[in-house]
Amino acid sequence: MSKVLLIDDDAELVEMLADYLSRDGFAVTTAHNGEKGLPLALGGEFALVVLDVMMPGTNGIEVLKQIRQQSQIPVIMLTARGDDTDRIIGLELGADDYVPKPCTARELAARIRAILRRMEPNPADNHQPITTGNLVLWPQQRRALWCGAPLDLTSTEFNLLEILARNAGATVSKQTLSENGLGRPLAKFDRSIEVHMSRIREKLGLLADGRSCIQTVIRQGYLLIRE
């Protein structure tokens, strides 16, 4: 039973979501503000955090910043519907995904399962690493090296980079990346993939010739350069 932490000041919504998630097989703990939720998120007890952006006191963006300073636990942000600014800021700070409010408990449960499922080792994979150029990934261990140094990746960033590495030298569409990396179809005007790719590029840095190893292929997708 996966343990999920739900941080939101909307008591009625929290009760509804917690009840549904509990009946859907999750062990749910709730916190109604960032001050109480942050130490719980950093305690190492939970598999995933659901975090509301708009809360009094320490808001969700600040909580996410502090989580990412110490942990790569998966985080799903709850954002106001139509508020692209909060979504993009959350993704840029390391959120794995977002769900616009008002949301259905069923949709949230599906997003949680998608992220957790992609963190589980695939029995079909052997223990051999994926190696392409300066990049080495161990999918079962969720571990990656770039130029011999550890890469500090969120769960979603690892998923996306693994997909590109398995297809190094070939273009991977944003639709494929969204479906296999985020666990959901790519929505119209959704910039999640672009933001995640920007973060991955920043962590990888540039090649010796000044290029990024992840190239954008206009109107097609992304390509990891095979060195």
**% of the chain exceeding 70 in pLDDT:** 98
* Same-domain status, 138 and 54: no
**Is residue 68 situated within a structural domain?**
yes
* Same-domain status, 170 and 70: no
Question: 85 CB contacts (<8 Å, ≥6 apart)?
Answer: none
**Is residue 125 situated within a structural domain?**
no
Q: Which pLDDT tens digit goes with each residue over 157-167?
A: 999 999 999 99
**Is residue 151 situated within a structural domain?**
yes
Range of the domain at 203: 130-224
CATH of the domain at 115: 3.40.50.2300
> Could you give the CA distance from residue 226 to residue 146 in angstroms, rounded to a whole number?
14
* Same-domain status, 38 and 91: yes
Q: Which pLDDT tens digit goes with each residue over 167-179?
A: 999 999 999 999 9
pLDDT of residue 137: 96
186-193: average pLDDT: 90
CATH of the domain at 205: 1.10.10.10
The 8 Å CB, 24+ separation contacts for 114-123 are 114/182, 114/183, 114/184, 115/48, 115/74, 115/76, 115/155, 115/156, 115/183, 116/2, 116/47, 116/48, 116/74, 117/183, 118/155, 118/159, 118/181, 118/183, 119/74, 119/155
227 confidence band (pLDDT: 50, 70, 90): confident
**Is residue 124 situated within a structural domain?**
no
* Same-domain status, 86 and 157: no
- How far is residue 209 from each of residues 88, 96, 132, measured CA to CA in Å? 30, 31, 17
The domain boundary, picked from 85, 119, 153, lies at 119
* Same-domain status, 149 and 101: no
**Is residue 86 situated within a structural domain?**
yes
Provide the number of structural domains found in the chain. 2
**Is residue 146 situated within a structural domain?**
yes
The domain boundary, picked from 95, 119, 143, lies at 119
Name the residue type at position 135: L
Quick one: which of 129, 130, 94, 95 has its CA closest to 203? 94
Tokens encoding 171 = 């273009």
67-90: average pLDDT: 91
**Is residue 45 situated within a structural domain?**
yes
End-to-end Cα spacing for the chain: 42
**Is residue 197 situated within a structural domain?**
yes
Least-confidence region, from 16-25, 90-99, 117-126 = 117-126
pLDDT at 9 exceeding the cut of 70:
yes
> Could you give the CA distance from residue 99 to residue 201 in angstroms, rounded to a whole number?
24
